[in-house]
Amino acid sequence: IKTGLIFPASISIVKVGACSCWKCANNADDQTPPYNGTTDGVMESRYFGIYVREKAADHRVEELEMEVRRLNRIKSALVTASNDSTIIVDEGGIIQSVSEATLRQFGYERDELVGENVRVLMTSDHARNHDAYMRFYFKTGIQRVIGQRREFKAKKKDGTLYPIELGVAEIE
């Protein structure tokens, strides 16, 4: 290192290719090809990628991964313990997690909801426009539903519609 600082590191060397043209082998502009004792008289150049990763960085990555796992356990506990229906969706509207209350209220099993679009819980008019609502929000940042309480109708697994109070919060 230019500063002379010594630090623990892991090093990986990977062969990424080879070139047998005499210019690459010689790495010079003269016109005399080098001789390496092979029958074709051309030396082969090999190219290697060298990756150096500071061990402290590895340790920090491990610490961050542990913190993410801890926060996921907390999130899961909060969702599970909630008496209200709690649904966590990603930016595409895909359900990532649901509370026990959600399963009871909507009549689904967990594996029937997780991985599905949240539209399955909406009336057809809201389901039809939901993706456009989300695109509008991500494009403009204008919050029409986030941070507000609204009354809607939701759709249970059996198709029954019932009134709900909807609150949406963004998790950053």
What is the residue-level pLDDT of the chain in tens, covering all 172 positions? 466 666 666 666 665 555 555 455 555 444 444 444 455 555 555 566 666 666 666 667 788 888 888 888 887 777 777 778 888 888 888 998 888 899 999 999 999 999 999 999 999 988 898 888 888 888 888 887 787 888 989 999 999 999 988 888 877 7
Pairing type for strands 87-89 and 95-98 reads: antiparallel
DSSP H helical ranges for the chain: 22-26, 55-81, 100-106, 110-113, 124-140
CATH for the stretch 47-171: 3.30.450.20
Domain boundaries, the chain: 47-171
